[in-house]
Chain A
Amino acid sequence: MTPSIAIPAVASASARSPAKAARPGYRLSGGRVLHSEWAKLWSLRSTWITLGLAVLFLVAFGLLAAVEYKSRISSGQHIDADFATATAVSLSLFGTNFAQLALGVLGVLVTAGEYSTGMIRSTLIAVPRRLPVLWSKSAVFGVVALVVATAGAVITFLLTSGILAGTPGALTMWNPGVLRCLLGAGIYLGLVGVIGTALGVLLRSVAGGISVLVGTLMLVPGLISLLPSAWHNNISPYLPTNAGESMFALHHAPHTLAPPAGFAVLLGWTALILGGAAYRLVYTDA
């Protein structure tokens, strides 16, 4: 007899809230936010264009540098100091300076672009705890930039090796330090991408983010060099760009950091800016 009592009770409960009974079990999670950010990145044309530009800069400038080096060596012209110490590694990574701009700017666009278009409101309504958005955007874009940049560096090195065969700068992939340099350049560019995304969240403005990024990467090192040399030598190795460059320098030059130290310093800068971005994201109205 008990079922006959239970059935009407269940029926009346479900009649009261039909929507609730049939509701699927959706759930917000960190992994899903990561998936969402991955989908967001690839569903914009600007991503494809800018990543393409970054690879183009890496390959084209690397090849140009190698061709120039080869023609000077073989024609027996005067060779300036920069070229005299050049290797297949330094020549093939000549485009890093330009690629960092493309990747850094795309990083800024990934986050600040949401603020300028209003997309950030949709994003933060879906993920109201907010921080998973910052971690996911940084992780997704950092890894994409790292993979693209490393691939670009390896391709460029293979191409330039062919050109440089028989010159004093020739190296193969298996010479000591070569792989470390190519991967180091990839990691450097990946972290520049993360710095870009963090700056976008920190400043909430595409123009502001790009300005600060370019200023930090390209102008500050120049300004520091105006300081008295004793100061300059102490400060300059710790700047993000110089710390990063030590990660993909084949030979350890004076007044530069060792590769692991350079990596650590660049990580520190990245963490600092990410921390600022996290603070602004959580404590300021969207």
Chain B
Amino acid sequence: MIEAHQLTKRYGQKTAVDRLDFVVQPGAVTGFLGPNGAGKSTTMRMIVGLDAPTSGSVSVNGRRYAAHSAPLQEVGALLEAKSVHPGRSAFDHLMALAYTHGISRRRVNRVIELTGLQSVANKRAGAFSLGMGQRLGIAAALLADPATIMLDEPVNGLDPEGVLWIRNLLTGLAAEGRTVFVSSHLISEMALVADHLIIIGRGRLLADTTVQDLVRQAGGDSVKVATADPGRLREVLAGPGVEISGQAGSEELQVTGISPRTIGLAAAEHGIPLFELTATTVSLEQAFMALTRHAVEYHGSATGIEIAGRTA
């Protein structure tokens, strides 16, 4: 479990992370989303104590990360930037980390096996491909069998097989009751694994939600209908929970709240000819973009006014 309370990081004038409040629960995969530069990596660095918060706090399993007696057993972290000496072999790298906590050689061999690094374990890490480097980072994160796993952009640079492997690993770890916190700037990737989403933009919390709720908030599922008589169809479909929109003079309507099937049946019953009946789903990308665009407008009010004035 990770709990952030009014977590803030400022670099001089620039605020990288702005009063974040969130809780990452165990037993689920929580996606940490935001455009590049939103403050995801900085937040993760603060969780493991690499950066000190300017104000606010973040705790892991009830305590500050550094206050634990076996920190690696609390959080296993893979950071975005390379964190390995290129001159050391994968095995020696893991062994050096293992010694700090009294972790056995057997456990080191186990994580090497788990991440599929057996054949390259004795090669210098500097010669590793991006994908191998990512696997080594994940092996290090899993080393002490941690209660919380935190991965920053883990699928970057992985081939499709590697991406699938990560997906299964994450859901497997969450199923074992662990806290899994994964960042990404690709919501489509997150939608496949994450149960929960924490979305930030410009360091601020934009949404603490689930994939379904995010889509629903952004407009949800709607049906596009083209008909010869939009006026009559509106009357026929009108009812509680149904929203219909369309431009005057256009044959097209956007209907939310009822299924294409119901619309088709109702139209047939009243003899209204339909030319088109299409279910459209707001893509996660669109929902995500809508959220983050809002953040940009909210923060950059000065430039926003200028642009609005120019277009008006």
Contact = CB atoms under 8 A, between A and B. Distances in A.
Interface string B173-191: 0001110000000000000
B291 to A, nearest CB: 29
A121 B81 contact: yes
A32 B102 contact: yes
B262 interface: no
Contacts of B52: 285
A19 B83 contact: no
Contact of A28 (B71, B79, B81, B140): B71
A45 interface: yes
Interface of A: 16-20, 23-29, 32-33, 35-36, 39-40, 43-46, 113-114, 117-122, 124-129, 285-286
Contact of A26 (B85, B89, B103, B140): B103
Q: How many of chain B's residues touch chain A, expressed as a range?
A: 35 or more
Contacts, number: 118
B45 to A, nearest CB: 8
Interface in B203-235: none
A43 B100 contact: no
A17 B101 CA distance: 22
A35 B96 CA distance: 8
B169 interface: no
B157 interface: no
A18 B49 contact: no
Given A20-B147, A32-B99, A129-B66, A45 B87 contact: yes
A23 B87 contact: no
Contacts of B81: 118, 121
Contacts of A23: 73, 145, 147
Contacts of B97: 36, 122, 126
Given A24-B145, A286-B50, A125 B72 contact: yes
Main DSSP-derived SS at the A contact region: helix
Given A28-B69, A121-B79, A126-B101, A19 B177 contact: yes
A114 to B, nearest CB: 7
Interface of B: 45, 48-52, 65-66, 69-73, 75, 77, 79, 81-89, 92-93, 95-97, 99-103, 140, 144-145, 147, 176-178
A35 B86 contact: no
A119 B82 CA distance: 8
Contacts of A125: 48-50, 71-72, 75, 77, 79, 83
Contacts of B140: 122
Main DSSP-derived SS at the B contact region: loop
22 contacts: A19-B145, A23-B147, A26-B73, A27-B70, A27-B101, A28-B69, A28-B72, A28-B101, A32-B100, A33-B100, A36-B96, A36-B99, A40-B96, A43-B89, A44-B85, A44-B87, A117-B84, A117-B86, A120-B83, A125-B79, A126-B101, A285-B45
Q: Which of A16, A119, A122, A125 has the most CB of B within 10 A?
A: A125
Given A43-B96, A126-B100, A28 B48 contact: no
Given A26-B144, A27-B69, A45-B87, A124 B50 contact: yes
Nearest to B52: A285
Q: Which of A17, A35, A114, A122 has the most CB of B within 10 A?
A: A122
Contact of A113 (B50, B77, B83, B85): B85
A119 B83 contact: yes
A26 B70 contact: yes
A127 B100 contact: yes
A32 to B, nearest CB: 5
Contacts of A27: 69-70, 101-102
A127 B96 CA distance: 12
A19 B61 CA distance: 14
A20 B145 CA distance: 10
Nearest to A136: B100
Contacts of B176: 18-19
